[in-house]
Amino acid sequence: MYPRKRSIRDLELSGRTLFLRVDYNVPIQAGRVVDDTRVRASIPSIRVALEKGARVVLASHLGRPKGRRDPALSLEPVSGCLSSLLGNPVRFVGDCLGPPVRRAVDSLGPGEILLLENLRFHSAEVENDLDFAGRLAAVAEEYVNDAFGTAHRSHASTVGVPTVLGRGAAGLLMEKELRHLDRVLSDPRPPVVAILGGAKVSGKIGVIENFLSLADTILMGGGMAFTFLKALGVDVGQSLVEESCLETARKALREAKKSGTRLVLPEDVVVARECVAGEETWTVPVESLPPDRMGLDIGPGTRRRFGQEIEKAETVIWNGPLGVFEVEEFAAGTLEVARSVGASRAFSVVGGGESAAAVVRAGIRDRIDHVSTGGGASLDYLAGKTLPGVAVLSGSD
């Protein structure tokens, strides 16, 4: 979807200072990183920069501090985690701009690393304030974005800094994300099966519309399926329904029929009175869903049907859980579908935090061709939207 972007591998970095935007939006508890997946994902680009003799300045956000300093959202624990993973010392400075940062950058030698404090401690970051971006850019001579998960945001560190510098390149993770997502969007091997889940239709309207022309079959679960079922006249009891999206669902059903895309909805569901752990559950056909209960997972019949469709696929794209995955009683559908994807011969791409967590929990991560690190970014990309943090990067020569 994008022309090839200039790569970190193309840059002359010897003795130069590199501003490397990474995604260290990771869970931290008691001052320790409890899931280092995103930290590990940044290491290949960091190693390239070090091998090229760059002074590496790492920048990231963490959480949503809304422009205020919050010790619980400090990136300092990440510096220790990254040091251990790299086997290299990673310095940390308690701000992302100002005299302390300037001094810390000036003291770096070639092949040394500095991690800045949380960019979002300054509200100017999310406002893409060009003065703020200019102050960030002032410490560097080159810019690389390796934070695909933030590429859908027009923030100072993703759009402003490369705009000020007049150039920017993609990191290795960014390249990998774009390559795999481009493959399933631009040149997928048929039959293409798209699996869509999650709570709401409203957050995935663009993806649904795009997949109607891309996929041969769309398997739909999660809360969003009940909006589609109600649009077909099914009484879904107390299940989640977006009333404002009923006409959107009807339109999608009409378009699917017109395009020849099979849109497969659940035939049975796991229901309960409340969405809480320990609640008594029942499995019922969708047309027999009791008026005082809510559907919270796809049933065994639907899981088998979805598995049969996945088995026939040559390309699988999956975004969103098929039940309330975080509650044990309603996780079975998502996990079984994950195992079906892992057992298939299809080229598979999984996007979204809960879908990615499901493939890890199901023990089939190594059988998935690509698990995207960017939830919102991958969703926008699959919907055919332009990602500002990608569009601003320089084209290859």
Residues belonging to the active site: 38, 200, 353, 376
- Residue 44's alpha-carbon distances to 57, 74, 97, in angstroms, are 15, 24, 26
Cβ atoms < 10 Å from Cβ of 397: 6
Strands (E), the chain: 17-21, 28-29, 32-33, 55-59, 90-92, 113-115, 142-145, 169-170, 192-196, 217-220, 262-264, 268-272, 282-285, 294-298, 315-319, 347-351, 370-371
* Beta-bridge partner residues of 285: 268
> Contact, 357 vs 371, CB < 8 A?
no
3-state secondary structure 224-266: HHHHHHHHCCCCCCCCCCCHHHHHHHHHHHHHHHHHCCEEECC
* Beta-bridge partner residues of 114: 57, 91
> Contact, 38 vs 27, CB < 8 A?
no
* Beta-bridge partner residues of 280: none
SS3 212: helix
The encoded tokens of residue 96 equal 């992302």
> Contact, 17 vs 23, CB < 8 A?
no
Residue for token digits 């795009």?
210
